[in-house]
Structure 1
């Protein structure tokens, strides 16, 4: 039966796994607890890398000066290498009698009685923990082996958690990159495209109609400010600027009016009062409308573009129709358009909306989005 001191050590090892500590700190706590509980002079824990060495190798019971004198970290050979290949514990009165024992550096302490345990997750060996030189007579016992197996299991949990966290972090980075790519394509690229056209118009008018050129330059300033605001929103993951205080209908009307001023095409908005949607659904509808408008004006070379927003039953229906050149929806498309179409589908699916795109060469394009108002 454990005494209070032993229970404290077990508790420290178990709690370390659930605490907000680095994996190295968790493993060091487990290692120190193991050495104290099993009354060993030395303890070590290794996590292998893929190059024949150890990504982590911790020791307890050795001073910093002794550790420095020992030299480089061990490699995956000898007994340490064997323990990474077998799920069985190693318990011996003298480790030097092990068939795979090789040597140790000159400054390495002499090890005799030995207890080693693989750190495993199912059939996968993640590392190893071992104790040496029992400070009490009789060497390590089967009870010691059972306790070390328990502590090795907690070390395995820490390593698996660290692996899962790293994978989660990598996925989060990928998702954030994809979000930024979508936002840049959906919003900022379109504003910059409009800004370039307006700047070209201002340059053309500068000599023969300074007053009109000045008006165009005012629009350039506004578009540049809008693009800067959009970039700030993308970086911090905020909602689109136009939706911050306005509803979807007002934000879309403003967007259409701006595009109508800066493009040669006739861009019109019609709509009826609609209920407020969730923030995610409003943003999805707004971005999809932006993408449809961008495609019509930049890729479709449309003369007229109409945006209609209204409520039909329990849904808000958005339509963007143009009379542009259209395209074959079954044929490969330009990379920029492909990214935009994929973004529209992803956004609609993410908020439970239904997206339908109809187009044909020479027959324009129609985008219809149905967004549920409830749920």
Structure 2
């Protein structure tokens, strides 16, 4: 909504300019015809604050919504449908109002008032304002569709997180509870059995802590502010160590890294972040290695681990979504992507980007 408002204000400004109107306003309505947003042009913020709440649409301004038709008036005060103006409202005599319509659905209303020189708004003015209203309608609906898609993505992500927590952390904690359930009853009879149960519970809880840390790391948004890529990878490796308890070893080329195009540096950083997030979340590794090298006109990033690995021939395997993101970034840079893994043998991800192609994509 905040990104949409400047664009809509520009539509109102242009409509005022092309019709020589002193004042303009755009009211956006919800599905129930309730005023959702009100954008004004031609009055100051102080003047708008002095007027008070935006119009409820009970008078002339509501006619456009209720009837879905344009309105041109020589004198507002002489129309019987006028509800008058609130205190501190500027004087307005002439009025041009058009509905903002998208696919036969009214999403707003665009008003213009006080044509310069006291003239009445013309049919030509109305036609031009209708064009601005159509553009505004498309922008409003696009913004609403984007908002709905983002809401849907959030719901899907919540569902995924809930499933991950249920299948992983919650089941592990439930298992620890079952493991400890009988300890109190046999602590005197079989202390060795209880000791084994307690040792297993401690190990299981430590694994739960690691799992929760990896979830936190995976959910934290990646950030890259055009700093040196080597330093950014160092900070990323340190963050993984703190949040996942995985030892991350870093090997970054001494020459050429600072000269990489900013867009390439940022994409390589996000690739490393995605790869290490997969390691933290899925691999059960104790160590990972991140290597960035530049040779023969190619920059190569490799992330590997000593974790449980997976069968690469199986579709939708472990971390497939993150791997897909990495592959997409590599292709967008004009580079190649390779993953090698085997069950019990760890995983290695390598992205290679020709610098000539990378500069072309930067």
Instruction: List aligned pairs for 1:196-235, cutoff 5 A.
Output: 196-204=177-185, 206-235=187-216
Kindly indicate whether the alpha-carbon contact (under 8 Å) linking 1:30 and 1:151 is maintained by their aligned counterparts in 2.
yes
C-alpha contact (below 8 Å) 1:48/1:76 kept by paired residues: no
Q: Is the 8 A contact 1:195 1:220 kept in 2?
A: yes
Unpaired stretches in structure 1, ≥5 consecutive residues: 1-19, 253-273, 285-375
Partner of 1:67: 48
- Asked whether the equivalents of residues 101 and 134 of structure 2 are also in contact (C-alpha less than 8 Å), the reply is yes
Q: Compared with structure 1, are the counterparts of its residues 119 and 51 closer, same or farther at alpha carbon in structure 2 (3 Å cutoff)?
A: closer
* d(CA) in 2 for partners of 1:104, 1:139: 20
Contact map agreement 1:188 1:231 (CA 8 A) in 2: yes
Answer yes or no: is 1:281 the counterpart of 2:317.
Answer: yes
Q: Does 1:113 align with 2:149?
A: no
Maintained 8 Å contact 1:117/1:130:
yes
Superposition pairs for residues 145-294 of structure 1, below 5 Å? 145-204=126-185, 206-235=187-216, 236=218, 239=278, 241-243=281-283, 245=285, 251=308, 275-277=311-313, 280-282=316-318
* Cα pair 1:94 1:114 within 8 Å, conserved: yes
TM-score normalised per structure 2 = 0.58
Residue correspondences, number: 243
Per the normalisation by structure 1, the TM-score is 0.56
1:77 is aligned to 2:65: no
| Contact 2:215-2:281 within 8 A present in 1 as well | no
Gaps of 5+ in 2: 220-276, 287-303, 321-362
State the shift of 1:278 in Å. Answer: 6.1
Q: Give the structure 1 partner of residue 250 of structure 2.
A: none
Report if aligned partners of 1:52, 1:76 keep a CA contact under 8 Å in 2. Answer: no
Q: Give the superposition deviation at 1:165.
A: 2.1
Cα RMSD over matched residues? Answer: 3.2
Question: Is the Cα–Cα contact under 8 Å of residues 93 and 113 in structure 1 kept in the other structure?
Answer: yes
8 Å contact from structure 1 (residues 47, 128) kept in 2 = yes
Q: Secondary structure at the match of 1:280?
A: coil
Q: For 1:132 and 1:170, how far apart are their aligned partners in 2?
A: 38
